[in-house]
Amino acid sequence: MRNTGLFILALIMLEIVLRLIGFGEVPKYERSVNYDYALQSSQDITRFGNSFYINAAGMRSDEVDEAKVTILKLGDSVLNGGIGTDQSELASTKLEENLIVDGVDCRVYNVSAGSWGPDNAFAWMNEHGDFGADVVVLVFSSHDWLDHRNCRDVVGHVNFYPEADPILALTDAFNWAMTRFLSEPDWDEIPLIENCTPNTGSHNAGWDEFIAYSAAYNIDLVVYHHPSLEEISNGKYDEKGQALASYLQTYSVNYISGLDAGYSESAFRDRIHPNALGQEIIEKAIRPVVLKLLQNES
């Protein structure tokens, strides 16, 4: 009996410690028939010491202010930063801060989610609007040339995309460890979202949709082509990346090659995701292009 009591006390103490270091509250997602999934709106959590804030419109940014110059940034986990990146370290946060220093009264909106492609991002913008964007900035990688949305219902079925907080920090820590170190989801076993039609084609349809939209509404479009560590080591983009770069240049899109941004291995958390230094490099590459476009508009 005494041992049982000590075991329960130990579990309670472990639960408290895990909550103190950031377990027990997670970024939460919602499913969509149009763009598969997105972060739920109005979240404000601290996990592993990092602030993670999602505004009322579902962006990892401060609240919408329609009176300001608007830069709408859309992308995947590179732009989003994930829970491993503090809100203050994001390229989008730094871009807003530095453009204000440059004299631009602006708001930079970060619309992103892990594993999104341009088609997910465009579908989100098509549903929610462009918020009067003066400039639209896309942050994607070489694999996003072909990476179609697949209508898999990941929300609530894959640990990376929870729809609610875990009941216990203990279960949260267990799932976190399982997801990152011990198991991979079987993507073929994940059910499809009802009434969702997967995209197909020679390349991701979102590229065509963003180019057509920017032309139709006379909005400047910028694409930041984020490189992987392998591409940096090789000094060139892979086959998909070269096809993407050629396509964007054909349509005279404002194209920024991350290969020229000054990366080193110390700017990455893994083979593709930037750390705080990498986020800063992205911001420095994008800012002069956006600033010049805004100055030309005015």
Give me the percent of the chain exceeding a pLDDT of 90: 83
User: Does 269 map to a domain?
Assistant: yes
Are both 25 and 92 inside the same structural domain?
A: no
Token pair of 213 as six digits: 């939209």
Question: What Rg, from alpha-carbon coordinates, does the chain have?
Answer: 20
List residues bridging with 135 in a β-sheet: 71, 220
Residue 137 phi/psi, 5-degree rounding, is: -120, 125
Q: How far apart are CA 248 and CA 142, in angstroms?
A: 12
> For the whole model, what pTM was predicted?
0.94
CA angle 186, 226, 160 (to 5 degrees): 30
Least confidently predicted of 18-22, 71-75, 97-101, 162-166: 18-22
Domain end, chosen from 191, 219, 247, is at 191
252: Cβ contacts below 8 Å, ≥ 6 apart: none
User: Does 38 map to a domain?
Assistant: no
271 by Cβ neighbours in 10 Å (0-12 / 13-18 / 19+) ranks as exposed
| C-beta atoms surrounding 147 within 10 Å | 22
Are both 104 and 144 inside the same structural domain?
A: yes
User: Does 267 map to a domain?
Assistant: yes
Query: Three-state SS for 122?
Result: helix
Question: Residue 11 is part of which domain span?
Answer: 1-32+155-191
User: Does 233 map to a domain?
Assistant: yes
Are both 102 and 143 inside the same structural domain?
A: yes
Are both 229 and 280 inside the same structural domain?
A: yes
80: domain CATH number is 3.40.50.1110
Are both 142 and 164 inside the same structural domain?
A: no
Are both 101 and 126 inside the same structural domain?
A: yes
Query: Three-state SS for 73?
Result: strand
CA 109 to chain CA centroid, nearest Å = 11
Question: Across all residues in the chain, what is the average pLDDT?
Answer: 94
Burial readout 242-262 (b: 16 or more C-beta within 10 A, e: otherwise)? ebbbebbeebebbbbbbbebe
Are residues 70 and 132 in contact, defined by beta-carbon separation less than 8 angstroms?
yes
Are both 225 and 124 inside the same structural domain?
A: yes
Looking at residue 7, what is its pLDDT? Answer: 82
Are both 291 and 209 inside the same structural domain?
A: yes
| pLDDT greater than 90 at residue 178 | no
* Number of domains within the chain: 2
User: Does 209 map to a domain?
Assistant: yes
For range 2-15, the mean pLDDT: 83
Looking at residue 182, what is its pLDDT? Answer: 66
Of residues 4 and 275, which shows the higher confidence score?
275
Instruction: Report which residue type is found at 234.
Output: N
Domain end, chosen from 191, 214, 241, is at 191
Q: How far apart are CA 198 and CA 215, in angstroms?
A: 26
| pLDDT greater than 70 at residue 1 | no
Are both 109 and 247 inside the same structural domain?
A: yes
| pLDDT greater than 90 at residue 152 | yes
Token pair of 2 as six digits: 């005494």
User: Does 96 map to a domain?
Assistant: yes
Q: The dihedral of CA 199, 204, 208, 214: what is its sign? A: positive
